[in-house]
Amino acid sequence: MEVQARAKLNLTLDVLGKRPDGYHDLKMVMQSITLADDLTLEDNGTGEIRVRSNLSFLPGGEKNLAVKAALCFYRTLGREPRGLDISLDKRVPVCAGMAGGSSDAAAVLRALNQMEGQPFSREELARVGERVGSDVPYCVLGCTALAEGRGERLTPLPALPQCWVVVCKPDFPISTPELFARIDGCKVRRRPDTDGVLAALEAGDLPEVARRMYNVFEDVLPERQRARVADIKNTLIQQGALGANMSGTGPTAFGLFEREEAAKAAFELLSQHHKETFLAQTV
């Protein structure tokens, strides 16, 4: 079976506080886009679940979320796993704030559910995904949704009006634990207008959604990294984006465009300086 694993973007991301269990309470508006990994699942007759990828540095075994998802699926089903070879053709950037690994895991859950005769509803499958990773439930359901708690409490939202997206990942790493530590140690000066975004989605008002996008992690990036993300966002706006934002804990920035020509021009300009730049559409 072949299946796609779509990237996600954060139209908003707010951190409400740290919980007693060590996780953080989040409030996020999430959006799927057409940029995706391609996965192939094949019976191998060995009883083992094996994974291979076009990226040699990705881990195997349960450290790979695709394998972890398959094992979790069969544990929940109460059966020994079938032997599988999982092939990942990665296009979504790694460690980019776009849920690439979580989306792969969700794609495996959807594929196995179909292969095994649909034993789980989509909502039940999303709950299976909670045991794999915080973003996996959203990636099972996809489209436009409000995510709360660790990201597992999901409310489907009116679809974001279809538009073009230019996605750009600058070439530097981000430490997610460091950013959470930074946000725990400072006063958040600006928060996204989540209610305003929800109202704009209800009205089908793309410019208003784009204008209100924000991610609290932008404020706590180290200074040089914050400047580089800001440069990408400024380029997107100058090229005609309705709004620009950082996704997840970064460093990927993206812009929403009504016009394909403007999106292509922004893509071509950013591609000259950033290898991992992509042109996509919302789903």
Among all residues, which ones are annotated catalytic? 8, 135
Q: Which two tokens stand for residue 73?
A: 């699926």
Cα separations in angstroms, 180 against 30, 48, 102, 172, 190: 19, 36, 19, 18, 16
SS3 category, 100 = helix
Q: Burial level of 150, CB count in 10 A (0-12/13-18/19+)?
A: middle
Pull the structure tokens for residue 278: 């992509």
Look at residue 50 and give its three-state secondary structure: strand
Helix (H, G, I), strand (E, B) or coil at 101: helix
- Write out the two tokens for 277: 């730049």
At 251 the three-state DSSP class reads: coil
